[in-house]
Structure 1
Amino acid sequence: MKAALCLEPGRLEIVDRPAPSAPPAGHARLAVSHVGICGTDYHIFEGKHPFLEYPRVMGHEISATVIETGDGVDLTAGTRVIVNPYLACGTCVACRQDKQNCCTAIKVLGVHTDGAMCEEIIVPASNLYPAGDLSAEAAATVEFLAIGAHAVRRSMALNHSRTLVIGAGPIGLGTAIFARLAGHDVTLLDTSEERLQMAATRLGFDKGILADEHVETAVTETSSGDGFDTVFDATGYKPSMEKAFRFVAHGGALVLVSVVKEDITFSDPEFHKREMMLIGSRNATRVDFDHVRASIEAGKVPIEALITHRTTLDNLAQDLPRWAREKAGLIKALVKISG
């Protein structure tokens, strides 16, 4: 039997489950090492996720080690891997264009199907990428950082672009880091003075705007009256996403990194007079995972500054509910499963 953290809305429980059987062809059985906790996991715990059925084993930011493989898999036991949690069909219109991140039938580990808050899982080998020289902890951060890297790549913004990232949570900070690596001049905007200060002291983002009643004036002043060439919204909050249109410079782009269930509305005259681009960014691809891994290996990503909280599988049932309420000082929490 193998331990797993099983979730009903608002209730977490360690349960014993049968160990996975031998992996089928094209798959690998993995010993899970570390799992990151993201905003989606907190929403799942609180019963707020609209597309999830309970009970569910969460966990989609994963580092692991190969135990055994099925036929046709070119990975050896003991290989440390990063797991791409987006399970694609491989045949739809998106997959045929190598855009498995927006597969029409996508299933995400820990959301649509059970994830990695457990000792062992079986995953398609095509979703496993060698961890290289990354530590097990660093490998578990690659997925959430890849979302930001993908958004920056989707933006098609030029070097020296004046960039505004709205939302200084983990996804927003990951976006800001990879925008900075792409040569952008990055400003953060958030409702929390504490988060902006933490981004400045821990990550070096000293340009910050507080989202208060004076936010539009502050955006205008910070951008010399022009607006920002590129705006990323990583809030998952409908009013913020709608207001973000007004922060974009003429000829600029708005990238929606987050997603909400409701419709987003905007002024068509304001949109057209700017000749702005509106870009959706979903998940990430192998290119983004590789870019993140190489950037971490090169010392360009401050992993230790991003990881602020740590726990174990045994203690997670107590820690996750507390962190869902107490967000002060929290950027990224990691769960050690084994190793």
Structure 2
Amino acid sequence: MKALLCDEPNTLTLIERERPADVPGQLRIRIAAIGICGTDYHIYGGNQPFLNYPRVMGHELSGYAMADSVDGRIAKGDLVVVNPYLTCGTCHACTIGKPNCCENIAVLGVHTDGGMCEEITVPEANLYPAKDLTPQAAAMVEFLAIGAHGVRRSALTEGSSALIVGAGPIGVGAALFAHIAGAAVTLRDTSSDRLALAKKIVPAATVELVSEAAPGVFDTVFDATGNINAMNAGLNFLAHGGSYVLLSVVKGDLNFADPEFHKRETTLIASRNALKVDFEHVVACMAKGLVPVDDIGTHRTTLEGAVSDLPKWAQDRGTVVKALIEVAA
């Protein structure tokens, strides 16, 4: 089968390799579409410090089941969404229903080869039916679930105000699902181009360049910048009694002035990956037409085309919300 291999930083090769072997408890999937994530761009650019090359990237995946699942949820030929988080099932986080922060988590396309290929085998429990979606929409579910998970953890209420700092794909997803939850949404970013793209996806949102004032009046603030300085500054935008949700994870130390943190009686929330309920929420919202998938999927290519397109998009991410690799119809 064909696979797109990142041999080393800044080197992509389309190769032929053996199809994956059948594994008990896993289902063989014919890949339909792959979303290109910021992580993939970082792997390509050599900015993932804990990754071993060569690596087949790709963890935002949709595909077709090549057999029936044992539990009967999935039939041969069904379109499915892949949850790419491979968990141990035995650590404390897993046993309390939080496998998204499993102590031994491995992610397809990062810690092990992923889905930028024609076929993959995945644990049956990591597959969710997506029969009402297109393959392209189904490949967007994973990244949108990250924003949806953060919104759910924030417990924001209808009619409240939410500020999302960072209008990249994760921030846009958080803004979209905060809006679906009934919040009045504001998006801030340093790029007017990213804000313009975000406004198409969440037209009800207010957009602000970072140079503009953002007073501390928001009930919930989400950081999706991936910038430690922005993460440290985000507390200033929060109203008293509010919640600060960190979708970003970076190397560095969080530094808040304790008087500012305490006088707001701030709830500080870290949000990592997503759970089955978040994937299912995204799928349901897509099926209802609440997610403008055509505006989110801004760029498309093939496995062959990705050899040249992925490096190009890595250098011009300001005009890309979500690029997709289409593999099988």
The Cα shift of 1:156 comes to 1.2
Q: What is the identity, as a one-letter code, of the residue corresponding to 1:260?
A: V
Q: Which residue of 2 aligns with 1:277?
A: 267
Q: Secondary structure at the match of 2:114?
A: coil
SS at match of 2:214: helix
1:21-170 equivalences under 5 Å are 21=21, 23-68=22-67, 72-74=70-72, 75-170=74-169
Determine the C-alpha separation between the residues in 2 that align with 1:170 and 1:183.
20
User: Which whole-Å CA distance do the structure 2 matches of 1:323 and 1:211 have between them?
Assistant: 24
Is 1:175 the counterpart of 2:174? The answer is: yes
Aligned to 1:231: 221
Residue 283 of structure 1 deviates from its aligned partner by: 0.5
1:301 Cα deviation from its structure 2 partner? 0.8
- How many residues end up aligned between the 2 structures? 327
Distance 1:85 1:200 in 2: 29
Which residue identity lines up with residue 173 of structure 1 in the other structure?
V
State the alpha-carbon separation in 1 of the partners of residues 51 and 280 from structure 2: 29
| Unaligned residue ranges in structure 2 (runs of 5+) | none
Output the CA distance in 2 between the equivalents of 1:274 and 1:290.
34
Q: Look up the match of 1:241.
A: 231
User: 8 Å contact 2:162–2:219 — kept in the other structure?
Assistant: yes
1:287 aligns with 2:309: no
Alignment match, 1:223: none
Amino acid corresponding to residue 195 of structure 2 in structure 1: L
Give, as a single letter, the amino acid of the residue that structure 1 aligns with 2:292.
P
Matched residues in 1 for 2:246 and 2:235: separation? 10
Secondary structure at the aligned position of 1:160 is classed as coil
Give yes or no for contact 2:185–2:205 (8 Å, CA) kept in 1. no
Distance 1:124 1:200 in 2: 37
Matched, 1:12 2:2: no
TM-score normalised to the size of structure 2?
0.96
SS in 1 for 2:64: strand
Counterpart of 1:295 in 2: which secondary structure? Answer: helix
- 2:142 and 2:248 map into 1 onto residues whose CA distance is 15
Take 1:328 and 1:264, find their aligned partners in 2: how far apart are those partners?
27
Cα distance per residue 1:37-59 (max 9 Å; x no partner): 11111111111112211111110
Distance 2:207 2:214 in 1: 10
Task: Provide the C-alpha distance between the structure 2 equivalents of 1:171 and 1:111, rounded to a whole number of angstroms.
Answer: 18
The CA deviation at 1:329 is 2.4
C-alpha distance in structure 2 between counterparts of 1:198 and 1:93, whole Å? 40
- Superposition deviation, residue 86 in structure 1: 0.5
AA paired with 2:323? A
Shift of 1:330: 1.2
> Distance in 1 between the 2:262 and 2:120 partners?
49
Distance 1:120 1:307 in 2: 22
Deviation of 1:69 (Å): 6.0
* Cα deviation, residue 128, structure 1: 0.3
Tell me the SS of whatever aligns to 1:44: helix
Paired amino acid for 1:196: L
Identity of aligned residues (%): 53
After TM superposition, the structure 1 = structure 2 runs for residues 252-331 of structure 1, keeping only pairs within 5 Å, are 252-331=242-321
